[in-house]
Amino acid sequence: MSSDITVSDLKKTFAGGARRARSNAPLFDGLSLSITAGELVALVGPSGCGKSTMLNLVAGLDRPDRGEIRFDHGQADIDLSVVFQQPRLLDWLTVEDNIRVVFERDGKKKGNAAHITHDLLARVGLTEHAHTYPQFLSGGQRQRVAIARAFAISPDILLLDEPFSALDELTARRLRLLLQDLWLGEGHRPTGILVTHNMLEAAFLADRIYVLSGRPATFSSIIDVDLPRPRSLDDPVLFDVHRRIMQALT
Ligand SMILES: Nc1ncnc2c1ncn2[C@@H]1O[C@H](COP(=O)(O)OP(=O)(O)OP(=O)(O)O)[C@@H](O)[C@H]1O
Ligand SMILES: [Mg+2]
């Protein structure tokens, strides 16, 4: 089941060094946003404006100074997956076991672990590498394992922090399409938040794009991407959205 995400009146400050007064300014002060279950939204904005911090707060990896982040069922029931810029695989486990490892804390789905893993490996095109160790894979293959692992639990919420930015453009294009396929293929599409510096990627994947800027950060623009799915990476509408994001940022 996917879940609404409601962020209200968020305040977050990191204690900075005394030498730079600005670093003590709150990153967020009264920021709110609402994402409906099954939507995929993108957060874009300059480096350091707080995008990864926002994902960490939603993931529960960090706590706000004020405000709250609510899901539509209690936090304990939420299955949440995160894909980072680096694949963060366990080097001592094979590809297959890197995916299966997520079932260890989820008794319900354990019975299906072999089937789900097999199916996901096929969907990300890595069946022949099921027994390979990560060090023998390319960067794009490793990130495909990370994406497969994220989908293995059929997450309610999927957080993506620059998932393709460490890859060459051709591989990144392929993985954007793969992500769209996996996301569309879920019975209950996870509610997604994608952080990216690639504006075409944001336009391609998101239902709505939040342009963050300033300190404390505010949304300088919120852009709806009203395009049916599956989308094409070369749809001219994406370039129009790209132009609007850049206008909001400059
Ligand atoms: N754990 C932390 N302790 C202290 N300061 C932090 C911490 N995490 C982030 N910051 C600071 O908060 C600010 C926002 O960081 P964040 O990583 O959220 O930015 P970002 O928008 O994701 O940037 P980028 O696009 O470069 O990834 C930065 O100034 C950073 O130094
Ligand atoms: Mg970041």
How, if at all, do strands 40-44 and 66-71 pair? unpaired
Q: 97-110 pLDDT, tens per residue? A: 999 999 987 666 66
Residue 50 CB–ligand 1 contact under 6 Å:
yes
> How remote is the CA of residue 53 from the centroid of ligand 1, in Å?
6
Per-residue pLDDT band at 24 (split at 50, 70, 90): confident
Which residue's alpha carbon is nearest to atom 24 within ligand 1? 47
State the ligand closest to the CA atom of 46: 1
Q: 130-171 pLDDT, tens per residue? A: 999 999 999 999 999 999 999 999 999 999 999 999 999 999
Domain spanning 5-78+156-249: CATH superfamily: P-loop containing nucleotide triphosphate hydrolases (3.40.50.300)
pLDDT at 237: 97
Averaged pLDDT for residues 26-38: 97
Is residue 17 predicted with pLDDT exceeding 90?
no
Contacts of 69 (CB under 8 A, 6+ apart): 5, 6, 7, 8, 10, 57, 58
* Arithmetic mean of pLDDT over the chain: 93
Is residue 63 predicted with pLDDT exceeding 70?
yes
> What pTM does this model have?
0.95
Residues with CB under 5 A from ligand 2 (ion): 52
Helices and strands, counts by H and E, the chain = 7, 9
pLDDT at 19: 55
Domain locations in the chain? 5-78+156-249, 89-155
Q: Are 229 and 41 in contact (CB under 8 A)?
A: no
* Whole-angstrom distance, CA of residue 217 vs CA of residue 224: 20
Instruction: For residue 177, give both structure tokens.
Output: 């399409």
Q: 173-193 pLDDT, tens per residue? A: 999 999 999 999 988 899 999
Instruction: For residue 15, give both structure tokens.
Output: 């204690």
Averaged pLDDT for residues 243-248: 95
Averaged pLDDT for residues 12-34: 82
Per-residue pLDDT band at 121 (split at 50, 70, 90): very high
pLDDT at 110: 65
